[in-house]
């Protein structure tokens, strides 16, 4: 069997700049995924000052994944920790799904927040996963996110709440 995984040494997380990255963020997500996550460009249309969009770029400079870090009041629906950051809308270019890009993003995100965004003094990352989205749930759990007892009702149904503690 051929190993189709992306070489993580070729991937990097960066702050998204809409003017620079917009053209590469038009991911054609499959219909079943659109039930769980909005496409990246939807976040540009609803851009908020408390949102910080991130991308993953591959060695050839292509944008291959996206998410938004949200420090607004919505995060407190997921946690009581006022020093938390809500992860929204993680999506991977469909051409690279199942090849380790999402896992890379999820595993490296804590370090990115702790170093590049250290001025936030964040203590934890939180996110919601639709209870029907079993592949995403398994990926987050395999990347050291922990399921919380709290659940929230999202626009597309009930969500599990997951958290990852950060170093200070």
pLDDT at residue 93 is higher than 90: yes
Q: What is the pLDDT of residues 17-73, one digit of tens each?
A: 999 999 999 888 888 888 888 889 998 887 789 999 999 999 999 999 999 999 999
CATH of the domain at 156: 3.40.630.30
d(CA 40, CA 91): 7
CA–CA gap between residue 161 and residue 10 (Å, rounded)? 31
Closest CA to 141 of 160, 114, 167, 115: 160
Q: Is residue 89 part of a domain?
A: yes
In a domain, 52, yes or no: yes
In-domain check, residue 2:
no
Would 127 be classed as within a structural domain? Answer: yes
Residue 1 forms part of a structural domain:
no
The residue segments making up the domain with residue 107 are: 8-165
> Using one digit for the tens of pLDDT, what is the confidence trace for 142-157?
999 999 999 999 888 9
Residue 56 lies in a domain: yes
Report whether pLDDT(166) > 60. Answer: yes
User: Would the pLDDT of 3 be above 80?
Assistant: no
Can you tell me the distance from the alpha carbon of 118 to that of 35, in angstroms, rounded to the nearest whole number?
33
pTM above 0.85, yes or no: yes
**Is 3 part of any domain?**
no
Percentage of the residues of the chain whose pLDDT score is greater than 70:
98
Q: How many domains does the chain have?
A: 1
Q: Does any domain span residue 63?
A: yes
* Residue 51: closest CA among 34, 74, 33, 35: 74
User: How many CA atoms within 13 Å lie on the side-chain side of 83?
Assistant: 15
């Amino acid at each position: 069997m051929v190993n189709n995984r992306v070489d993580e040494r070729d991937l990097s997380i960066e702050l998204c700049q809409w003017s620079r990255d917009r053209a590469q963020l038009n991911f054609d997500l499959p219909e079943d995924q659109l039930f769980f996550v909005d496409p990246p460009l939807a976040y540009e249309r609803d851009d908020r000052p408390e949102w910080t969009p991130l991308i993953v770029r591959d060695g050839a400079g292509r944008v291959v994944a996206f998410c938004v870090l949200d420090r607004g009041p919505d995060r407190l629906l997921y946690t009581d920790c006022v020093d938390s950051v809500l992860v929204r809308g993680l999506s991977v270019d469909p051409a690279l799904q199942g090849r380790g890009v999402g896992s890379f993003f999820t595993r490296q995100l804590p370090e990115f927040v702790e170093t590049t965004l250290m001025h936030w003094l964040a203590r934890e990352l939180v996110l919601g996963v639709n209870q029907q989205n079993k592949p995403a749930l398994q990926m987050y759990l395999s990347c050291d996110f922990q399921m919380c007892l709290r659940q929230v009702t999202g626009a597309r149904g009930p969500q599990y709440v997951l958290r990852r503690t950060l170093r200070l």
